[in-house]
Amino acid sequence: MIKKTNNLMDKIVSLCKRRGFIFPGSEIYGGLTGFWDYGPLGVEFKRNIKNEWWKSVVQDRDDVVGCDAAIIMNPEVWKASGHVDSLTDPLVECKTCHIRIRADQGDDIKDHEAGHAKKKEKVSWTEPKKFNLLTEVFLGATEPKQKAYLRGEITQGVIVNFSNTVSSSRVKIPFGIAQIGKAFRNEITPGNFTFRSREFEQMELEYFIQPDEKEGESVFKYWKEERLRWYVSLGIRREHLRFHEHTPAERAHYARFAEDIEYDSPFGWKEFEGIHHRGDWDLSRHKVSYKDPDTGKEYTPWIIETSGGVDRAALFFLIDAYSEDGDRMVLRLNPKLAPYKAAVFPLLANKPELVKSARKIYEDLRKHLMVAWDDRGNIGKRYYSQDEIGTPYCITVDFESLEGNDVTVRDRDTAKQERVKIAELREYIVKRVYGEQ
């Protein structure tokens, strides 16, 4: 394990670019602050995170169904939800250099003042102003164009489909609706790589319950523990996570109560995921209620929400998995999250019989798993290259394979090798990556 410093962030950013996880958005035009693109490995990694989340929150449960709502909604939604008035951050401007900064980000303010102090300049700030984070878009071909918003949280798409979901499926309270999708915020100070971006992806669960204080407390407790357990089950070290209860000043306008799961990142303890008790805020603002099919009682349900960032999860999983072993860099990702589950090599690229056999193994495996092919350089270099991107198993076809119908499988974490029969290879890898099926 390596010490967490900003040096680690530099290594992560450089690895992401070099190996095709994450690139600066629109880079050939000089980039655009707060926007990032995921490359060949990043897209696989992010998809694996989302699949694992969906499996744990929807597929493995009886009480949660899914939704995929439009990004652009009728702008009335955002007025009713309170985001037009309240999705704001406090903004101050430095009177010396006119840079604008979030007034509630103490470290940014201190860093800025320190920069001026070095030049023997004094800093004074304007009074904080509320800055709305919703991103406006304009629709239609004729003037005046219709003003709408890119969604500032994915939540509202679920809320406005509450009644449609109840009437079209067999759900009964308590139940949840899960969604994964892009959200957009015109952040004043995007930064720390993808940590605070202007376009990002969220994975959210809105869990609907009866309006009851005790029930609210116990469902909130259940989901915050469950979400923390999920991160730990996929490899984040427990000691790198903690809960942070929001003070009334920190709470979003819709929250009766909120706690964050925070991560001990190289740039301090930072919000990973928010767990919010939204009470009846949303459904009552949209004038939506629920009729209990058994009792006929009508009421406005309460919502307990878990809201995680996919990009933050990707970044923190990468940071937590990064390790150096001498000059060997190993990304100890949980195999379920690794972009490739295995890599297949012929021992020598200039021996057609080895290439043919390795190619057959690769083509059989890739019907079931994401698998890499590599026949460049020597075996040692190929191992290093796969370790660096977190591939848990490397499979080498050598001359013995042609006689014995077996291959060498090398484990990323232990660097130990074992011989495995080609006929049993798929089951061997699947079991180790996903557990008993």
Binding site for ligand GAP (CB under 6 A): 153, 155, 185, 187, 196-197, 200, 202, 204, 271, 273-274, 305, 307-309, 311-312
Residue carrying the six token digits 């915020």 = 185
* Residue 370: closest CA among 394, 350, 341: 341
Burial of 212 (0-12, 13-18, 19+ CB in 10 A): exposed
Burial of 283 (0-12, 13-18, 19+ CB in 10 A): buried
Nearer to ligand GAP, 286 or 382 (CB): 286
Q: Residue 272 Cβ, how far from ligand GAP at the closest point, in Å?
A: 6
**Distance in angstroms (rounded) separating the CA atoms of residues 94 and 113:** 9
Q: Indicate the SS3 state at residue 427.
A: helix
Q: Which residue is nearest to ligand GAP (CB)?
A: 309
Nearer to ligand GAP, 273 or 320 (CB): 273
Q: Residue 350 Cβ, how far from ligand GAP at the closest point, in Å?
A: 47
Q: Residue 379 Cβ, how far from ligand GAP at the closest point, in Å?
A: 39
Could you give the count of Cα atoms lying within 13 Å of 394 in the half-sphere of its Cβ? 27
DSSP state of 124: -
Nearer to ligand GAP, 44 or 206 (CB): 206
Residue 390 in contact with residue 322, Cβ under 8 Å? no
Nearer to ligand GAP, 123 or 133 (CB): 133
Nearer to ligand GAP, 176 or 274 (CB): 274
Q: Residue 28 Cβ, how far from ligand GAP at the closest point, in Å?
A: 23
Nearer to ligand GAP, 221 or 253 (CB): 253
In total, the chain counts a number of residues equal to: 437
Nearer to ligand GAP, 201 or 398 (CB): 201
Non-local CB neighbours of 214 within 8 Å, separated by 6+ positions: none
Q: Residue 39 Cβ, how far from ligand GAP at the closest point, in Å?
A: 18
**Distance in angstroms (rounded) separating the CA atoms of residues 88 and 85:** 8
Q: Residue 201 Cβ, how far from ligand GAP at the closest point, in Å?
A: 8
Token pair listed for 287:
């004038």
Q: Residue 276 Cβ, how far from ligand GAP at the closest point, in Å?
A: 6
Q: Residue 170 Cβ, how far from ligand GAP at the closest point, in Å?
A: 26
Residue 276 in contact with residue 296, Cβ under 8 Å? no
Burial of 104 (0-12, 13-18, 19+ CB in 10 A): middle
DSSP secondary structure of 279-308: ETHHHHHTT--EE-TTT--EE--EEEEEEE
**Distance in angstroms (rounded) separating the CA atoms of residues 99 and 106:** 15
Nearer to ligand GAP, 21 or 345 (CB): 21
- Phi, psi for 371 (deg, rounded to 5): -130, 140
Nearer to ligand GAP, 15 or 313 (CB): 313
Q: Residue 315 Cβ, how far from ligand GAP at the closest point, in Å?
A: 9
Q: Indicate the SS3 state at residue 234.
A: coil
DSSP state of 94: B
Residue 138 in contact with residue 146, Cβ under 8 Å? yes
Question: What is the β-pairing status of strands 371-373 and 342-346?
Answer: parallel
Q: Residue 154 Cβ, how far from ligand GAP at the closest point, in Å?
A: 7
Nearer to ligand GAP, 187 or 374 (CB): 187
- Phi, psi for 347 (deg, rounded to 5): -55, -45
